[in-house]
C-alpha cells in the first residue's frame, strides 16, 4: 500500500482526482473539472506494452535514486565525521579563537570601513560564507519550483482552463475593499522601510537579508491586495530570473576579484569611504543590495509557488 504522496509523484490519476475534488470543491465547478479529467484520461495510452514500458522506467529510476541517495549519505557522514575529528577537544582552551574576535573588534573599522562590525564580518571577512548562503536560497527556490510548478507537462486537466479558474476565482482576493485599502496605505511604507534597512546595513543593524525580507513581504502584500494580474504586469518570471542571476553574478565576480587580489598581495583600489557615511564600507553596500534582491525574489517566489504554482507571470 503506497502513500498518497508517493502515488501523486508517480502520476496516479485517482489521487490527482481526489486532490482536485477536495481542495477546490468550495470554489470550483466540480462537474466541469471531472469532465475535463475524464476527457484527458481517455487520451492516455493504456495498452499493456505502454504500461510495461512505464513500469520499467519507474523501476530503473528507483534503482538509480536509491543508489545515489546511499552514496550521498555515506559521503556526507564521512565528511561530517572528519570535520568533527579535527575540532579541538571539549574543555581545552584554544588561544587562536580569541585572535579572530580581537581582529574583528580592533581592526574592523579600519579594514572594512563599516561602522557596523556585524556587517563587516558578514560581507567582508566572511563574504565567501554569505555567498554560499545566497546560493542556498536560490537553490531552494529552484527545488520548490520543480515540486510545485503547474504547467502542461504535470497537469492531468486542460492547463489553460484549470489555471484560469484557479487564478481568477480561488486565489484572487483583490476584490476585498479592506485588503485593497490596507495595501494602498501599508505597501509604500513597507517597501520604503525595506530599502532603508537594505541601504543602512553598514551603519546600523540591517543589511541584505533583513531588508530583502521586508521588501519580499511588501511584494507579497501587493499580490494579495491587488491580485496576481497586476503583480505579473511588472514582476514577471523573466524579471525574477534576471534580477536573481545578476545579483548572484555580481556578488560572485566582485568578491572573487577581492579574494584574488588579496591572496596575491595586490591592492584592490576599492575605496572604503568615510566611516558613518551612506557610501562607505567598500563593497558592503552593493553586496547588501545584491543579497537583498535575492532574498526578496526568493520570498515572493515561495509565496507565489505555494499559492498558484508559478513564480511569476509568463511575459
User: Cβ(225)–Cβ(187) under 8 Å?
Assistant: yes
What torsion, rounded to 10 degrees, do the Cα atoms 175, 165, 170, 149 define?
A: -120
The predicted structure's pLDDT at residue 38: 62
Q: Report the distance separating Cα 156 and Cα 17, nearest Å.
A: 9
Cell of 62: 528507483
Q: Does residue 196 have a pLDDT over 90?
A: yes
Q: Report the distance separating Cα 276 and Cα 53, nearest Å.
A: 67
Q: Does residue 19 have a pLDDT over 80?
A: no
Q: Does residue 127 have a pLDDT over 90?
A: no
User: Cβ(206)–Cβ(193) under 8 Å?
Assistant: no
Cell of 131: 555567498
User: Cβ(119)–Cβ(132) under 8 Å?
Assistant: no
Q: Does residue 4 have a pLDDT over 80?
A: no
Question: How would residue 97 be classed by pLDDT, with cut points 50, 70 and 90?
Answer: confident
- Please enumerate in sequence order all residues whose Cβ is within 8 A of that of 97, keeping only pairs 6 or more positions apart, or say none: none
* Residue bearing the bigger pLDDT, 42 or 73: 73
Q: Report the distance separating Cα 125 and Cα 130, nearest Å.
A: 10
Boundaries of every domain in the chain: 116-308
- The angle formed by the CA atoms of residues 220, 224 and 229, to the nearest 5 degrees, is 100
Tens digit of each residue's pLDDT (9 = 90 or more) over 237-285: 888 889 999 999 998 898 888 888 888 888 888 888 888 888 888 888 9
Nearest C-alpha neighbor of 29 from the set 186, 157, 215: 157
Q: Provide the 3-class DSSP secondary structure of residue 261.
A: helix
Cell of 31: 462537474
Nearest C-alpha neighbor of 114 from the set 202, 209, 197: 202
Lowest mean pLDDT among 10-14, 88-92, 104-108, 137-141: 10-14
| End-to-end Cα separation, the chain, in angstroms | 43
Q: Report the distance separating Cα 216 and Cα 208, nearest Å.
A: 12
Amino acid at each position: 500500500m503506497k502513500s498518497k504522496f508517493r502515488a501523486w509523484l508517480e502520476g496516479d490519476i485517482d489521487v490527482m482526482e481526489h486532490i482536485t475534488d477536495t481542495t477546490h470543491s468550495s470554489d470550483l465547478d466540480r462537474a466541469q473539472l471531472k469532465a475535463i479529467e475524464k476527457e484527458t484520461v481517455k487520451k492516455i495510452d493504456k495498452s499493456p506494452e505502454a504500461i510495461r514500458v512505464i513500469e520499467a522506467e519507474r523501476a530503473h529510476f528507483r534503482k538509480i535514486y536509491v543508489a545515489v541517495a546511499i552514496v550521498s549519505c555515506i559521503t556526507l557522514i564521512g565528511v561530517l565525521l572528519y570535520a568533527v575529528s579535527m575540532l579541538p577537544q571539549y574543555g581545552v582552551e584554544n588561544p587562536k579563537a580569541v585572535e579572530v574576535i580581537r581582529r574583528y573588534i580592533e581592526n574592523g573599522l579600519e579594514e572594512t570601513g563599516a561602522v557596523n562590525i556585524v556587517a563587516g564580518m558578514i560581507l567582508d571577512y566572511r563574504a565567501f560564507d554569505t555567498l554560499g548562503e545566497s546560493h542556498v536560497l536560490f537553490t531552494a527556490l529552484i527545488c520548490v519550483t520543480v515540486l510545485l510548478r503547474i504547467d502542461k507537462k504535470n497537469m492531468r486537466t486542460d492547463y489553460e482552463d484549470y489555471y484560469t479558474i484557479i487564478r481568477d476565482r480561488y486565489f484572487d482576493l483583490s476584490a476585498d475593499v479592506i485588503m485593497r485599502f490596507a495595501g494602498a496605505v501599508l505597501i509604500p511604507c513597507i517597501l520604503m522601510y525595506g530599502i532603508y534597512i537594505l541601504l543602512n546595513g553598514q551603519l546600523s543593524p540591517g543589511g541584505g537579508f533583513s531588508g530583502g525580507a521586508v521588501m519580499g513581504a511588501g511584494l507579497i502584500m501587493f499580490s494579495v491586495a491587488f491580485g496576481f494580474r497586476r503583480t505579473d504586469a511588472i514582476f514577471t518570471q523573466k524579471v525574477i530570473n534576471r534580477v536573481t542571476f545578476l545579483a548572484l553574478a555580481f556578488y560572485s565576480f566582485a568578491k572573487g576579484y577581492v579574494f584574488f587580489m588579496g591572496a596575491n598581495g595586490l591592492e584592490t583600489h576599492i575605496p572604503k569611504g568615510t566611516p558613518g557615511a551612506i557610501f562607505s564600507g567598500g563593497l558592503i553596500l552593493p553586496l547588501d543590495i545584491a543579497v537583498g534582491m535575492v532574498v526578496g525574489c526568493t520570498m515572493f517566489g515561495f509565496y507565489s509557488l505555494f499559492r498558484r504554482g508559478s513564480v511569476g507571470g509568463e511575459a
